[in-house]
Amino acid sequence: MPNNQNIIESALIAQPIKKLRLSLVVGVSVVIMLASFLFMLSAGRMSTDLLEVAALLFADSETSNKALVIQELRLPRALIAILVGAALSMAGTIIQSITRNPLGSPSLTGVTAGAAFAIVLAFVTYSPKTDILMLVGTFGGICAALITFSLARQSRFDPVHLTLAGVSVSIFFMAAISALMLLYGESTNAIYFWLIGSFSGRTMVELSHLWYWVFIGLALGVIFSPYLNLLLLDDDICHSIGINVTKWRFILGLIAVILTAACVAVAGPVGFIGFIVPHITRKLLGVQLASIDHKILLPLTALVGGALTIFMDALSRSQIIGIELPIGISSTFIGGILFVILFKKRSI
């Protein structure tokens, strides 16, 4: 932690957050998340009312198909949606803060493309089991981000250089994915659908891989959040108060990468959530990028992200447009609209 908390706090031009607003954002998010969660547990081909769902959650899945569906299909999918939404949103907030770039998103570190490349490579070469595939994807994402960081290290992780390095690494891995898909032709059809990003068909196997990465990432993010406040300041100010900017950009960037890589490995590249949710959260709180305490912002972004993501998945599951859209499509669609609205209101 910083040595001189007073200097740091005075350096930070923090805007006070109105408690009522904060409570409202938390309350509405929790209500949306809970309502969507219950809908996800009860909606599906096998009709189940909420009371039945409660009983089925603890019933023997060996003897009841409905219990099996609730416990092995609907519950993991709902939890994965919340975890992925929370993790990507928090990762997006971290990236936007360390790069001081409101257009920042986790994929700017190359992690998304790297994880996707590792999974495509593993899939076409030896088609491993899901748990292995998850690990391969996660480490692929981390490796790609480490390449980005090593490219940006010479400039002490200067935000512009970090962004450019991330974009370059992403482009490289996207090209490599295209090359693999061309090379392996028809056998990559399954990967094509995975690349859209989806929670469909995810089970306890994926959930058991995801949860610990997300919880570790979320915890580390909150623990180190004071440094995010400082990194929003000018580098010279940071140096003058004894903050090693390079070290903390790297550590916090790595936390964002861990959060993202595990999500991409489980759900595929889910676009826009990591980018748009931090903006929505700040907008709801009525604060700007450089003027908020991340100790509040990070968990709040995770909550809003989790709520928004499970809500979008519930919307998709309800087949409101006749078919179930994968989250990768619905999040980009809804995220795109929200982006335009925020942009029009000059909030970005």
Q: Which residues bind other proteins (CB under 8 A)?
A: 44-46, 65, 68-69, 72-74, 123, 127, 129-130, 133, 185-194, 198, 200-205, 323-324
Q: Which long-range contacts (CB under 8 A, 24 or more apart) does 186-195 make?
A: 187/124, 188/120, 188/123, 188/124, 190/123, 191/119, 191/120, 191/123, 191/124, 193/326, 194/119, 194/268, 195/116, 195/120, 195/268, 195/269, 195/328
Cα(160)–Cα(149) distance, integer angstroms: 12
Query: CB of 191: closest distance to other proteins in angstroms?
Result: 7
- Would you say 82 or 119 has its CB closer to other proteins? 119
How many C-alpha atoms does 126 have within 13 Å on its Cβ side? 6
- Would you say 44 or 299 has its CB closer to other proteins? 44
- Would you say 186 or 236 has its CB closer to other proteins? 186
Query: CB of 206: closest distance to other proteins in angstroms?
Result: 8
CB 299 within 8 A of CB 25: no
Q: Residue 12: what are its φ and ψ, rounded to 5°?
A: -85, 125
Query: CB of 307: closest distance to other proteins in angstroms?
Result: 24
Query: CB of 128: closest distance to other proteins in angstroms?
Result: 9
- Would you say 22 or 73 has its CB closer to other proteins? 73
Cα radius of gyration rounded to whole Å, the chain = 20
Single out the residue of 333, 261, 307 nearest to residue 82, CA to CA: 307
- Would you say 197 or 221 has its CB closer to other proteins? 197
339's tokens: 């982006």
Query: CB of 200: closest distance to other proteins in angstroms?
Result: 5
